[in-house]
Amino acid sequence: MEFSSFLTSLGTSFTIFIILMLLFTWLSAKRGNAVVYYPNRILKGLEPWEGGLKTRNPLAWIREALSSTEQDIINMSGIDTAVYFVFLGTVLGILVLSGVVLLLVLLPTASTDDEVKKNAKSTTSKGTFNDLDKLSMANIEERSPRLWAFLIAVYWVSLVTYVLSWKAYKHVSALRANALMSPEVKPEQFAVLVRDLPDVTPGQTRKEQVDLYFKSIYPDTFYRSLVVTNNKNVDKIWAELEGYRKKLARTEAIYEESRRKGNSEGKRPTNKTGFLGLCGKQVDSIEYYNEKIKKMTQKLEAEQKVTLREKQLGAALVFFTDRVTAALAAQSLHAQMVDKWTVTDAPEPRQLIWTNLTIKFFVRIVRQYMVYVLVFLTIVFYMIPIGFISAITTLENLRKLLPFLKPIVDQVQIKTVLEAYLPQLALIIFLALLPMFLLFLSKIEGIPSGSHVIRAASGKYFYFSVLNVFIGVTIGGTLFDTLKSVEEEPNSLVPLLAKSLPGNATFFITFVALKFFVGYGLELSRLFPLIIYHLRRKYLCKSEAEIREAWFPGDISYATRVPSDMLIITIVLCYSVIAPVIIPFGVLYFALGWLVLRNQALKVYVPSYESYGRMWPHMHTRIMGALLLYQVTMLGYFGVIQFYYTPILIPLPILSLLFYYVCRRKFYNAFCHTALEVASQELKETPNMELIFRSYIPPSLIPEKQEDEQFEGALSRVSRTGSFV
């Protein structure tokens, strides 16, 4: 890539962002689009446009995002979202403070040397990118005293990261504690999840077993239990019933519309009862669906009785009358054997993955290791196509491999676009195919909650992206050029790869620019959700429920967003000293991300769960992983360029591991469990234990009628033995 192409790509990306931002300004001001651009505010009963019409100017959203406080974020999107912004702010601070020194010191130090001029072949750019090579370590002569500045810079970046990440950990710990000390009643604070129940004594039900066990240990605070059941059949019936209810609502909406448009009687919808409504008897749709709902309701009630009494499994939710006992129970060893009566914190009701609750202790361990092996194989084999793609999608290699493309790619306009975007777009598309697979793998580990699955998938995606993008592209980008040299001299592999780092900085600068200009431009404009919403509303939606489903935004998608951010900070850190010019692009990525996502958190995204900041330890671990990779990379690079004082860097990885260990020992336990001093804070009102209990009943088991005598087996307050439930 030539320097002019690089500048063209940046200019094009910036132009795209400006266009998308102007589109957002225009489209978001239209009332018909409010549900796409302000769903979070609408769902909370607020006006879409804060302050009314006067805020409808191109910079209103920027002013609102900048003026918002952390408490505003918590009120609109919860603690987890606030913690995500702590992460963005921390990383932004690391890059800004690092850049102030690195840009002012290292750029003049590098640009005033003349190694590139003396030996144009010393870099992978081979004279085609000298303008940027002169601003990197590629322009520093081997063993030059100037390398002292770069070596000290490695320590500076590390020190800044230690200080800011420590402050962030303390801040997030305080946020979590304050949220858990809230006087508001949170159901999950009064419950624990009990797994790995032992075999039931003959003549005793599973529920009686759980009740007697916990009543004997916690006689004063035990409230009742909810035994997990095999809900496969009842879930199927309930889903079918809900489907008929949606069809009835849709049919009634169609009928009402016909009455408005035609005469007062309207035209009653009809449908055929055969396969997919294509054959069979023609019937009145409203009467047909009402009859189906009546029959399915009776069938559901019968199956609920059978499920609750006869399909109890080896796990349960146990409820206590105060938060301290629940927190204490979740942290205590209840049985002599580790695979019996395993008690942990209960997730939120909406987070529970019911099918995973009954997986046995050792089965979970086996599944976990099997998933680790699958992830490892995925990383290894995915590296092959990514490395191959990064190698062949350079314009020069495409011309060599596909000669018939020469007349096309040699055209100036096409050549510029391909040079600027082709490798990066290929890489982004490859990475987009992975998240759903990693979420599936995390779920089959036996993890009990949705937020934990997202954290697990996020970690897998991070390691995958770092190994395949950072390392894979570094290797693949110079693969064709180095194969012949390595074949002639195998020992030259490490020096060749190390010396390729400055040249690959160009690829990663363009990759980061594409991510923040185009990526955040699309995020802000919400073009695709807007188009999909209007198409669905015009051609598919009839009932209010269908319209709401069409515009409902979902959450902020931490499973993919956090690993993507971690990849960027890894890339920027690893190249921050080698090619300091990458730092402003990293700053722009996180600054623009903070601004755009601030707007989205306040107005668009609706959280699907609340874990009170439990994602933070995972974020901190990945920041430390990125820092450690950066330090090892610099240690290797200084060694390759034969700087005599390279061993001075050896303590850095050790310091990072020690810092991580101290942070984990000091803070981590408070994220795994609720501290008793936190749980002991007074509530503003006496909790309604019945409502807390019922919040955990699966939707398919909630009785259609309010009276619940039929639910004696699992839901009644008094079991057959008369024990307090």
Please give the pLDDT value at position 36: 93
Average pLDDT over residues 531-553: 89
* Range in 672-681, 698-707, 709-718 with the lowest mean pLDDT: 709-718
Average pLDDT over residues 46-57: 65
Handedness of CA 714, 718, 722, 725 (dihedral sign): positive
pLDDT of 66 strictly over 50: yes
Task: Say if residues 504 and 414 touch (Cβ distance below 8 Å).
Answer: no
Torsion of CA 72, 76, 80, 86, to 10 degrees: -30
Instruction: Return the number of other C-beta atoms located less than 10 Å from residue 255's C-beta.
Output: 18
In whole angstroms, give the CA distance from residue 713 to residue 309. 5
Please give the pLDDT value at position 541: 87
Mean pLDDT of the chain: 83
Torsion of CA 619, 620, 623, 628, to 10 degrees: -140
* Range in 82-86, 183-187, 473-477, 478-482 with the lowest mean pLDDT: 478-482
Residue with tokens 């980008």: 477
pLDDT of 125 strictly over 50: no
What would the pLDDT profile of 606-656 be if each residue is shown by its tens digit?
999 999 999 999 999 999 999 998 998 888 888 877 778 888 999 999 999
In whole angstroms, give the CA distance from residue 115 to residue 130. 11
In whole angstroms, give the CA distance from residue 473 to residue 396. 16
Phi-psi region of 257 (alpha: psi -120 to 50; beta: other; left: phi over 0): alpha
Amino acid at 553: P
In whole angstroms, give the CA distance from residue 366 to residue 360. 10
Quote the longest CA-to-CA distance of the chain. 93
* Range in 257-271, 612-626, 650-664 with the lowest mean pLDDT: 257-271
Task: Say if residues 318 and 191 touch (Cβ distance below 8 Å).
Answer: yes
In whole angstroms, give the CA distance from residue 35 to residue 60. 18
Please give the pLDDT value at position 122: 43
Amino acid at 309: R
Helices 450-465 & 616-640, crossing angle to 10 degrees?
A: 10
If pLDDT is split at 50, 70 and 90, which confidence band does 706 have? low
If pLDDT is split at 50, 70 and 90, which confidence band does 212 have? very high
What would the pLDDT profile of 127-185 be if each residue is shown by its tens digit?
444 566 677 777 777 777 888 889 999 999 999 999 999 999 999 999 999 999 988 89
Average pLDDT over residues 467-488: 60
327 CB-near residues (< 8 Å, 6+ apart)? 189, 345, 673, 674, 675, 676, 678, 679
Please give the pLDDT value at position 724: 31
Please give the pLDDT value at position 416: 55
Most confident region among 62-66, 68-72, 459-463 by mean pLDDT: 68-72
Average pLDDT over residues 192-202: 93
Higher per-residue pLDDT: 587 or 6: 587
If pLDDT is split at 50, 70 and 90, which confidence band does 107 have? confident
What would the pLDDT profile of 284-334 be if each residue is shown by its tens digit?
888 888 999 999 999 999 999 999 988 999 999 999 999 999 999 999 999
Please give the pLDDT value at position 521: 87
Higher per-residue pLDDT: 342 or 682: 342
Please give the pLDDT value at position 531: 94
312 CB-near residues (< 8 Å, 6+ apart)? 205, 206, 207, 227, 228, 229, 713, 714
Average pLDDT over residues 479-500: 54
Please give the pLDDT value at position 96: 96
In whole angstroms, give the CA distance from residue 657 to residue 640. 24
Name the residue among 262, 252, 259 with its Cα closest to residue 287: 252
pLDDT of 236 strictly over 90: yes
What would the pLDDT profile of 398-426 be if each residue is shown by its tens digit?
556 556 556 665 665 555 555 555 566 66
Average pLDDT over residues 527-550: 90
Please give the pLDDT value at position 87: 97
In whole angstroms, give the CA distance from residue 375 to residue 467. 12
Task: Say if residues 213 and 341 touch (Cβ distance below 8 Å).
Answer: yes
Most confident region among 2-16, 18-32, 136-150 by mean pLDDT: 18-32
Report residue 244 as tokens.
């008929």
In whole angstroms, give the CA distance from residue 640 to residue 494. 8
pLDDT of 682 strictly over 60: yes
Average pLDDT over residues 478-492: 53
Average pLDDT over residues 227-252: 92
pLDDT of 707 strictly over 70: no
pLDDT of 705 strictly over 90: no
C-alpha 87: how far from chain center? 13
